[in-house]
Amino acid sequence: MTDTPAFRSRLLAGEPLIGTFCKFPIPHAVELLGGLGFDFVVLDEEHAPWDRVTIDTALLGARAAGIAGLVRVSDPVASRILSVLDDGAAGVLVPHVSSAEKAREMAAACRYRGGKRGFSNTTRAGAFGGLGLWDHVEKHDAETVFIAMIEDPGALDDLDGILSTPGLDAAFIGRGDLTVAMGASGMEAPEIIEACTRIMEAAKRHGKPVAIMSGGTEDTGRYREMGASVFITSSDQGFLRVGAAKALADVRKGAN
């Protein structure tokens, strides 16, 4: 099981880390995935029906299973970041960070010192008052992860500004959004591969790890060679669909 306080250290050290998205707003999938040995899960508030209560419960499940629970927040605003961090998220994926200004704003929302994170230690993050004021500040400034999602064509023109932002820990390449926004034929189109290369080269210049979706061994090996170290594969929804389809086909074959 993952030592969740060490998750940021492992990320910044460039360790290969493997996670998945959670779409179902329940804690059970989070617990199951933690037991299997995934390094982290991402609760997908942006594209699934999560709310404050279900996120809170799922993050409790992440703690029970010893897996780092991140949240892809629904909006790139400070109030969304504050709520999930107070609930005990190990960090956030922030969508549509398309400028250095937005990166600085989001980094400030994640940090106390040098930032603007609202203080409360009477939350799960503060052990419900068990952590003193400055112990709480030190712990979360040291452990909170901020990953910026690079998924807009405009971000490609400001990569150095975004990736040099103090307090930004890593970049996630949103190949799907880039493909749609750029009108590319698919995620393997030359212009998308070129965009991925540019993002990874800029991340390397600024010492920032890169996260990317992976479809399997070949995909992972290719992007690992290009510089990625964090790989998100499928989702709880995807695993259920594939497993259920296979089970159905196997039983149908026997029944016929």
Which pLDDT score is estimated for 189?
97
| Tokens describing residue 62 | 């992440």
CATH at 235: 3.20.20.60
- The span from the CA of 11 to the CA of 129, in Å, is 28
- Burial label for 198, CB within 10 Å (0-12, 13-18, 19+), is middle
Which pLDDT score is estimated for 3?
58
Q: Which domain holds residue 61?
A: 4-255
Q: What angle do CA 153, 158, 159 make, to 5 degrees?
A: 90
CA dihedral 66, 68, 69, 75 (to 10 degrees): 170
Which pLDDT score is estimated for 51?
98
- The span from the CA of 192 to the CA of 174, in Å, is 10
User: How many helices, marked H, and strands, marked E, lie in the chain?
Assistant: 11, 8
Domain count, the chain: 1
Q: Which residue in 171, 231, 165 sits closest to 201, CA to CA? A: 171
Decide: 211 and 231 in contact? Cβ < 8 Å.
Answer: yes
Q: Which residue in 210, 191, 212 sits closest to 202, CA to CA? A: 210
pTM of the shown model = 0.96
Average pLDDT across the chain, whole number = 96
The parts of the chain modelled with pLDDT lower than 70 are 1-4
Which pLDDT score is estimated for 2?
53
Q: 47, 96, 136, 140: which one is catalytic?
A: 47
| Tokens describing residue 222 | 């290719």
- The span from the CA of 49 to the CA of 27, in Å, is 13
Q: How far is CA 97 from CA 17, 30, 167, in A?
A: 22, 26, 14
Decide: 195 and 178 in contact? Cβ < 8 Å.
Answer: yes
- Burial label for 30, CB within 10 Å (0-12, 13-18, 19+), is buried
Which pLDDT score is estimated for 256?
87
Which pLDDT score is estimated for 133?
97
9-47 residue pLDDT tens: 999 999 999 999 999 999 999 999 999 999 999 999 999
> What are φ and ψ of residue 124, in 5° steps?
-60, -40
Single-letter code of the amino acid located at 34: G
| Residue length of the chain | 256
**Residue 136 annotated to the active site:** no
191, HSE (Cβ side, Cα atoms, 13 Å): 12
Handedness of CA 54, 59, 64, 65 (dihedral sign): positive
Phi and psi based region of residue 58 (left: phi greater than 0; alpha: psi -120 to 50; beta: remaining): alpha
